[in-house]
Amino acid sequence: MAKPFFRLQKFLRRTQFLLFFLTAAYLMTGSLLLLQRARVGLPPGPRAPGPLQALPVAAVALGVGLLDSRAMHDGRVSPELLLGMDVLQGPLARPRPGPRWLRSRNSELRQLRRRWFHHFVGDPPGPPALSPEAPQPATSSRGTYVGCFSDDGQERTLKGAVFFDLRKMTVSHCQDACAERSYIYAGLEAGAECYCGNRLPAMSVGPEECNHECKGEKSSVCGGVGRLSVYRVEELQPGSRKRRTVTYRGCFRLPENITHAFPDSLVQANVTVETCSGFCSQKEFPLAILRGWECYCAYSTPQFNLRDAVDSSLCGQESEAQRLAEYCEVYQTPVQDTRCTDRRFLPTKSKVFVALSSFPGAGNTWARHLIEHATGFYTGSYYFDGTLYNKGFKGEKDHWRSRRTICVKTHESGRREIEMFDSAILLIRNPYRSLVAEFNRKCAGHLGYAADRNWKSKEWPDFVNSYASWWSSHVLDWLKYGKRLLVVHYEELRRSLVPTLREMVAFLNVSVSEERLLCVENNKEGSFRRRGRRPHDPEPFTPEMKDLINGYIRTVDQALRDHNWAGLPREYVPR
């Protein structure tokens, strides 16, 4: 009798412990669910943060010193940012010796996109929650509120300049950006999108349809879905950058049919460059043309091509009669050429999955800018970079495998990553230039330059030793495993933009007009060209570094020839 009783007692003790453990687990799970609901389902009032707004969780990690403020890779959000607080337990949280870029490169890139899509779509989509009191037109801005308008993406009138800001968009921010580019109207859409132009949209709608708050300015109206809150821009806000000025493009021979080549004109005594530029800017023409007292506004066309400049002395005052008869001075106005600024996602899923592959620092973002404006379709990315999205690369937010974009940016190498794509444009740049560009980006962002202390530290030689081999292996892997390739050299694209871009567009199986390609040439720089003072030392490579890089150049040059491609351009030849 004692033995069964002992067994029962032992069983009850174990059950008691088990019940205690299950109760504790239940309470912890319930607490986590309550916290999650508190984060996702806020009560009526302030809008619940969307998936993108959850990214600032990385600031917590920054506060405790886990992340570096420049924890980015080629402009993409670092894995820590996208993994949220998982970084506290993840392997990246453990300290590793040496600089960040000495870590396994492919592992770093795969980590970057492993969970970003799930993080992105974690909350179900839906209209933003509005506060009980509907947002009102901003009263603090210096512009005048015009009204709420319908925005048809195919026939958009405010398309002179476009940018997004998912976290800090305000009415003043949009107005300043438009005023800087000499536009009259600023339109805000969906709380985070800004559009500029000099003509009002055709269809006005009721003010209640513009019901989205600005992401960075609560209670102020910033349009709605397919709706624009339009403001007339009066002047730049205090502390804003100055308006952009005109740029001299050169002296050109007048076309035979001036009326056909130049759609608009102004004849005025003592007309100045500023007068002519202002007139053409208001008409949204990118070119202002002066001949004596005559001012013409135009686009670049096959009949009037900006590649056909002549000697500037032919427009000089010493040959007045000849100048007035045959030649004219051409200036670039601050406004964009809007013939190629309209972009959209593919209407149906692409049957061919195309990569735009390059080594970091090889000009991938610039190539995406050219392709988007030439084809009229967004490009995607294997990663997510909020900075690029804010600059107008709307495909950044789309999942890279959606097949809704014309091609997908990637820096991946390795057989598995390459064979996922049906074809690829392989963009190659001189490794000396690529390494400098990528080091500048790592140290100072997309538009900055690394400081002297960065170049003189141990970071630079460690970076070269690690990344130079990647430049070589990236090209070699794509030549080996790529199914269908178009090799494009960055230097050739800059030197001969329209012919090279025409070849790239044909590879993507898109037909474009010559006028659109010339528009792209007119807007070729985009938003990510470094400006400002360059470092005083333009040659940061030691003899040992040059020997290392030159060896990789020879290897890649021979590999290209072995695969029936032309070798590397002459400027790649070892110095």
Percent of the chain with pLDDT over 70: 70
Measure the CA–CA gap between 86 and 51, rounded to whole angstroms.
16
Residue 65's φ and ψ, nearest 5 degrees, are 80, 20
Indicate whether 506 pLDDT > 90: yes
Instruction: State how far the Cα of 212 lies from the Cα of 204, in Å rounded to an integer.
Output: 17
Reported as a pLDDT band with limits 50, 70 and 90, residue 431 is very high
| For residues 297-314, average pLDDT | 86
Averaged pLDDT of the chain: 77
Specify the pLDDT at position 15.
Answer: 66
Q: How confident is the model at residue 350 (pLDDT cuts 50, 70, 90)?
A: very high
Q: In the chain, count of helices (H) and strands (E)?
A: 19, 20
How much is the pLDDT for 125?
42
Query: How many Å apart are CA 363 and CA 498, to the nearest integer?
Result: 16
For 105, the token pair is 């490169």
Would you tell me the crossing angle of helices 514-522 and 497-507 to the nearest 10 degrees? 120
Backbone φ, ψ for residue 105 (5° rounding): -75, -50
Whole-number pLDDT of residue 435 = 93
Predicted confidence at residue 16, as pLDDT, reads 67
- pLDDT over threshold 60, residue 28: yes
Q: Given pLDDT bands bounded at 50, 70 and 90, which one contains residue 158?
A: confident
pLDDT band at 112 (very low <50, low <70, confident <90, very high): very low
In this prediction, residue 5 carries a pLDDT of 53
Nearest Cα to Cα of residue 553 among 462, 440, 455, 429: 429
Q: Is 203 exposed, middle or buried (0-12, 13-18, 19+ CB in 10 A)?
A: exposed
Structure-model confidence comparison of residues 485 and 153, the more confident one: 485
Contact between 233 and 200 under an 8 Å Cβ cutoff? The reply is no
pLDDT tens for residues 179-223? 887 788 999 998 888 988 888 888 889 989 999 989 888 888 899
Q: How far is CA 19 from the centre of its chain?
A: 55
* CA atoms of 382 and 371, how far apart (whole Å): 17
Closest CA to 414 of 350, 320, 502, 481: 481
pLDDT exceeds 60 at position 86: no
Asked if the model's pLDDT at residue 39 lies above 70, the reply is no
Residue 567 CB burial class (10 angstroms; 0-12, 13-18, ≥19): middle
The string of DSSP codes covering 38-82 is: HHH-PPSSSPPP-TGGGGGGHHHHHHTT-S-TT-EETTEEPHHHH
- If one compares 287 and 306, the residue with the highest pLDDT of the two is 287
pLDDT at residue 106 is higher than 90: no
* CA dist 424 → 411, 483, 488 (Å): 12, 8, 10
Scanning 74-170, the segments in alpha helix (DSSP H) are 79-83, 105-114, 116-120
Q: What is the pLDDT of residues 358-397, one digit of tens each?
A: 999 999 999 999 999 999 999 999 998 888 888 889 899 8
pLDDT at 13: 61
In this prediction the pTM is 0.71
Q: Print the SS3 string covering 228-292.
A: EEEEECCCCCCCCCCCCCCEEEEEEECCCCHHHHCCEEEECCCCCHHHHHHHHHHCCCCEEEEEC
User: What's the chain's Rg over C-alpha atoms?
Assistant: 28
Quickly state the pLDDT bin for 535 (edges 50, 70, 90): low
Say which amino acid occupies 164: F
pLDDT at 135: 65
Q: What is the rounded CA–CA span in Å between residue 441 and residue 73?
A: 9
384 Cβ contact partners less than 8 Å away, ≥ 6 residues apart = 76, 77, 82, 113, 116, 120, 396, 397
**Mean pLDDT across the stretch 419-444?**
93
Mean pLDDT of 311-320: 71
Both tokens of 202, joined, read: 């055709």
Six-digit token string for 115: 């969970």
User: What pLDDT, in 10s, does the model give residues 56-72?
Assistant: 333 333 333 333 333 44
What is residue 533's predicted lDDT score, i.e. its pLDDT?
Answer: 54
Q: Which of 13, 120, 21 is nearest to 396 (CA)?
A: 120
